[in-house]
């Protein structure tokens, strides 16, 4: 890399060379092959940028614009109807759900479909919240408030304990054969009792 040539070319392109320096640069360009290559590279870059920009400018951004409009409409609906935390969380989860549904079910390129889904979900959620609020003048709590701590009486505890105790014991004592018998009836023949029931250790 010839740094001096690069810098000279940069200054020439920026119009920062004075008349004498400019002539010197042009004279050098006649003889210096390295500088000629750099000028050629610069010409390729400029040509490429101009033609590339022309191509990119032809691209239609109406999809993104429609997406913006849908987003603005959705945000306006949310802002106008409810500012409560419940509504906000519902809309956020609505967007997320709609996004995932849109991504998996609706195969529309871009996010127009997702946004339209999202806006419809938000709208329905908001309408739901609004109609719920209209129908019930006094908002009811979703979670029941417990006014008093429930303390069961000692008799209830002891009674339930005595009722449960034998059942637990019986379950624990159940063997595989017993359980099998309970389900399928007397299918398995009972094992013959061993002659010497006592263990050899005893």
Partner 1 sequence: MSNIAYTSSEAPSSSEYGLLRESPQESNSTLNHAEDVALFQRFMQGDDSAAIIMFKKFNRSIFLYAAKILNSTEQAEDICQEVWERIIALRSKPKQLVNPGGFVFTITRNLCFNQLQSRKRTVRLDSISEQSLPSSIMPGMTSAEELVLSALDALRFEDRELLVLNMYCGYKFDEIAAILELSPGAVWTRASRARAKLRDIITKLSSPL
**CA R_g for the chain:** 41
**Using CB under 8 A, which of 42, 97, 101, 181 touches partner 1?**
42
In contact, 77 and 123? CB cutoff 8 Å: yes
**Using CB under 8 A, which of 23, 24, 51, 132 touches partner 1?**
51
Task: Using the rule CB under 8 A, give the single segment among 50-58, 121-129, 133-141, 181-189 that binds partner 1.
Answer: 50-58
- Per CB under 8 A, which of residues 94..133 are in contact with partner 1? 109-111
- Per CB under 8 A, which of residues 56..85 are in contact with partner 1? 56-57, 59, 61, 63-65, 67-68, 71-72, 75-76, 78-79
Query: Residue 158 Cβ, how far from partner 1 at the closest point, in Å?
Result: 56
Task: Using the rule CB under 8 A, give the single segment among 11-19, 143-151, 152-160, 191-199 that binds partner 1.
Answer: 11-19
20 SS3 class = helix
Nearest to 9 by CA among 49, 45, 38, 33: 38
In contact, 125 and 78? CB cutoff 8 Å: no
Does residue 88 bind partner 1 (CB under 8 A)? Answer: yes
**CB nearer partner 1, residue 34 or residue 165:** 34
**CB nearer partner 1, residue 72 or residue 157:** 72
State the maximum Cα–Cα separation within the chain, in Å, rounded to a whole number.
124
**Three-class HEC string of 25-72:** HHHHHHHCHHHHHHHHHHHHHHHHHHHHHHHHHCCCCHHHHHHHHHHH
Q: How far is CA 145 from CA 34, 136, 140, 149, in A?
A: 84, 18, 10, 11
Residues in contact with partner 1, counted by CB under 8 A, come to a total of 50
Binding site for partner 1 (CB under 8 A): 1, 3, 6-7, 9-11, 13-16, 26, 29, 37-53, 55-57, 59, 61, 63-65, 67-68, 71-72, 75-76, 78-79, 88, 109-111
């Amino acid at each position: 890399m010839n740094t001096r040539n690069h810098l000279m070319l940069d200054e020439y392109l920026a119009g920062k060379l004075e008349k004498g320096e400019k002539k010197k640069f042009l004279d050098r360009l006649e003889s210096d092959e390295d500088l000629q290559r750099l000028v050629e590279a610069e010409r390729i870059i400029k040509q490429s940028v101009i033609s590339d920009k022309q191509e990119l400018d032809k691209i239609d951004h109406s999809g993104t614009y429609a997406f913006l409009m849908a987003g603005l409409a959705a945000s306006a609906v949310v802002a106008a109807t409810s500012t409560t935390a419940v509504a906000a969380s519902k809309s956020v989860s609505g967007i997320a759900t709609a996004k995932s549904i849109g991504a998996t079910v609706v195969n529309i390129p871009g996010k127009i479909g997702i946004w339209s889904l999202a806006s419809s979900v938000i709208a329905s959620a908001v309408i739901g919240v609004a109609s719920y609020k209209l129908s019930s003048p006094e908002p009811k709590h979703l979670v029941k408030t417990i006014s008093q701590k429930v303390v069961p009486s000692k008799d209830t505890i002891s009674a339930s304990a005595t009722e449960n105790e034998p059942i637990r014991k019986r379950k624990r004592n159940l063997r595989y054969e017993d359980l099998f018998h309970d389900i399928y009836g007397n299918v398995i023949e009972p094992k013959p009792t061993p002659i010497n029931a006592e263990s050899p250790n005893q």
